[in-house]
């Protein structure tokens, strides 16, 4: 069984919800990314989402755009990120998902991408500019290797699209809480609970909610309706803010621990 499926099974038994933490790989260096992932694992994060930096991140707000730029300036490449996961697998079995735009994956080669990922301990992939409609080849390759393809749903998705995305998703469904780009927001959208209920009417796969989530209170609220909560920009901001501090890793760890505790209550 894939590490992601196993994780959701485990959490279900404990009646807990998953806290999924996003960070851009290579932001402040890949060795920093490694330290942060291990710290996140110790602090109770359930699943790691590693951002693969891209030159033109159209679904991202200023925070993740800036982290992408920083990582690219350091020369971070997809192959190095996969290597990092291989290295991480010596010390942790936390599920790791790559999240990145399609072109670097396409350039890497779909078949090679899936086989290198699956062979080195990457559990799945989220590609925000690759809807299932264009993902036949990826899904076919992923099936061969028990590799999770996580597709997204949004507030504008119709029942037809919910059915399609649910059918093609493996691991979980990523529900984008709002119409917009990534970035912390003060409030959760009012329609969130009803939208998640709508998805659940058509799908029995775990639903995780992301975009705009930054506070433990918001995490608690989402944990009441979905199987997991994804926090991205807020963590990236925390990393950026503390990067020059001596106890940098610990400070970011303190922050994600609060989020993890909120999702496990």
Residue-wise over 126-160: b if at least 16 C-beta within 10 A, else e? bbbebebeebeebbebbeeeebbbbbbbbeebeee
Q: Which residue number, 94 or 184, has a Cβ lying nearer to other proteins?
A: 184
Assess 125 for contact with other proteins (CB under 8 A): no
The Cα–Cα gap between 2 and 92 comes to 15
- Complex with other proteins: residue 194 or 265, whichever CB lies closer: 194
**Segment contacting other proteins by CB under 8 A, of 124-132, 189-197, 222-230, 231-239:** 124-132
Q: Is residue 152 a contact point for other proteins (CB under 8 A)?
A: yes
Active site residues: 49, 60
**Distance of closest approach, residue 58 Cβ to other proteins, in angstroms:** 5
Distances (CA, A) of 149 to 60, 186, 189, 214: 20, 30, 26, 25
DSSP per-residue string spanning 146-205: T-EEE-EE-TT--HHHHHHHHHH--S-EEEE-SSS-SS--SS--TTHHHHHHHHHHH--S
Q: Is 191 in the site for other proteins (CB under 8 A)?
A: no
Site for other proteins in 9-48 (CB under 8 A): none
In the bound state with other proteins, the residue whose beta carbon lies nearer, of 18 and 181, is: 181
Cβ neighbours around 213 below 10 Å, total: 22
Instruction: Name the residue nearer to other proteins (CB basis): 1 or 158.
Output: 158
Give the SS3 label for residue 95: coil
- What is the spatial distance between Cα 143 and Cα 248, in angstroms, rounded to a whole number? 39
198 is a contact residue toward other proteins (CB under 8 A): no
According to the binding rule CB under 8 A, does residue 240 interact with other proteins?
no
Of 35-43, 86-94, 103-111, 193-201, which segment contacts other proteins by CB under 8 A? 103-111
156 makes contact with other proteins (CB under 8 A)? yes
- The single residue among 65, 218, 233, 263 that binds other proteins, judged by CB under 8 A, is 65
Continuous H helices in the chain: 3-13, 30-42, 62-73, 78-88, 102-108, 110-119, 136-144, 159-168, 192-202, 216-223, 233-242, 248-264
Q: Decide: is 189 part of the binding site for other proteins (CB under 8 A).
A: no
Near other proteins by CB under 8 A: residue from 129, 146, 240, 254: 129
Number of residues this chain uses to bind other proteins (CB under 8 A): 38
Interacting residues with other proteins between 164 and 183 (CB under 8 A): 165, 176, 179-181
Taking alpha carbons only, the member of 10, 16, 24, 108 closest to residue 64 is 24
- Contact positions vs other proteins (CB under 8 A): 54-59, 61, 65, 72, 77-78, 102-108, 128-131, 133-134, 151-158, 161, 165, 176, 179-181
């Amino acid at each position: 069984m894939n590490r992601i499926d196993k994780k959701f099974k485990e959490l279900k038994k404990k009646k807990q919800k998953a806290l999924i933490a996003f960070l851009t790989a290579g932001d402040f260096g890949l060795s920093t990314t490694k330290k942060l992932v291990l710290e996140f694992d110790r602090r109770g994060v359930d699943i790691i989402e590693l951002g693969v930096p891209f030159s033109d991140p159209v679904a991202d707000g200023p925070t993740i755009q800036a982290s992408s730029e920083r990582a690219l300036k350091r020369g971070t490449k997809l192959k190095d990120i996969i290597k990092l996961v291989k290295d991480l697998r010596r010390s942790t079995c936390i599920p790791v998902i790559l999240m990145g735009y399609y072109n670097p994956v396409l350039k890497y080669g779909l078949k090679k991408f899936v086989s290198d990922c699956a062979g080195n301990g990457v559990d799945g992939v989220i590609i925000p500019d690759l809807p299932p409609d264009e993902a036949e080849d990826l899904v076919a390759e992923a099936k061969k290797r028990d590799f999770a393809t996580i597709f997204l749903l949004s507030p504008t998705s119709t029942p037809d699209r919910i059915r399609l995305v649910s059918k093609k998703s493996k691991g979980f469904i990523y529900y984008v809480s709002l119409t917009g780009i990534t970035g912390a927001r003060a409030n959760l959208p009012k329609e969130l609970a009803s939208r998640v209920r709508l998805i659940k009417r058509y799908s029995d796969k775990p639903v995780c909610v992301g975009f705009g989530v930054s506070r433990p209170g918001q995490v608690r609220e989402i944990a009441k309706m979905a199987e997991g909560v994804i926090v991205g920009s807020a963590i990236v901001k925390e990393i950026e803010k503390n990067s020059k501090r001596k106890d940098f890793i610990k400070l970011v760890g303190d922050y994600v621990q609060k989020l993890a505790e909120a999702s496990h209550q």
